[in-house]
Amino acid sequence: MSRYVLILLFVAVWLAVTGSVTPANIFFGLIVSGLALGLIRHQIPGGASHRLRPVRVLSLLLLFFKELALSAWKVAVMVTRRKLDVQPGIFAYPLRLTTDFQITLLANLITLTPGTLSVDVSDDKKTLYVHAIDCSNIEAAKNDIRNGFEKKIMEAFQG
């Protein structure tokens, strides 16, 4: 996938997140996306050591929007209940991802999903620490990450 296609993907996400499709917002998204990709150009998959699958990237993007909607709904329902019955906490998630790009992408997808926040990555890059608004079932949360975002990232960005 070329840099230009990634810029267009980033702009599409930007427009979806901001909810504003104006010429000024499109231009701003293009500028910010281009600058961001310029800053991380050495970490972008697509070189000789990486295989990028555009259809899988689209699948990851669709999963993100699905999880964004579901998580937003769950958090909205949770906070509108008369009695707020949650068990917030931090759990250690064992990573299968290996590259900085993949780990950063996973951490950001988790953080952008309501109810969860990536807190830290261990020095050996084998563990991601995640804060969740409800840690009543940590194994289910780990399975959701493993079978969702992490799996899709591995499929889309194989090293």
Do the strands 116-121 and 51-52 form a parallel or antiparallel pair, or are they unpaired? unpaired
Nearest to 150 by CA among 100, 99, 112, 102: 102
CA–CA gap between residue 28 and residue 8 (Å, rounded): 12
The pair of three-digit structure tokens given for residue 42, joined into one six-digit string: 């050495």
For the question of whether the overall pTM of this predicted structure is more than 0.75, the answer is no
Rounded to an integer, what is the distance from CA 23 to the centroid of its chain?
26
Structure confidence at residue 108 (pLDDT): 92
CB proximity list for 8: less than 8 A, separation 6 or greater: none
Phi, psi of 15 (to 5 degrees): -65, -40
CA–CA gap between residue 53 and residue 59 (Å, rounded): 10
Are 121 and 128 contacting, i.e. CB atoms less than 8 angstroms apart?
yes
Give the CA count within 13 Å in the CB-facing half-sphere of 69. Answer: 6
Q: pLDDT tens track of the chain, all 159 residues?
A: 467 777 887 888 888 888 888 999 899 988 888 888 777 766 665 543 455 677 888 888 899 999 999 999 999 998 898 888 889 999 999 999 988 889 999 999 999 899 999 999 999 999 999 999 988 899 999 999 999 999 999 988 775
CA–CA gap between residue 120 and residue 130 (Å, rounded): 7
Structure confidence at residue 110 (pLDDT): 95
Nearest to 149 by CA among 44, 77, 56: 56
Do the strands 116-121 and 89-94 form a parallel or antiparallel pair, or are they unpaired? unpaired
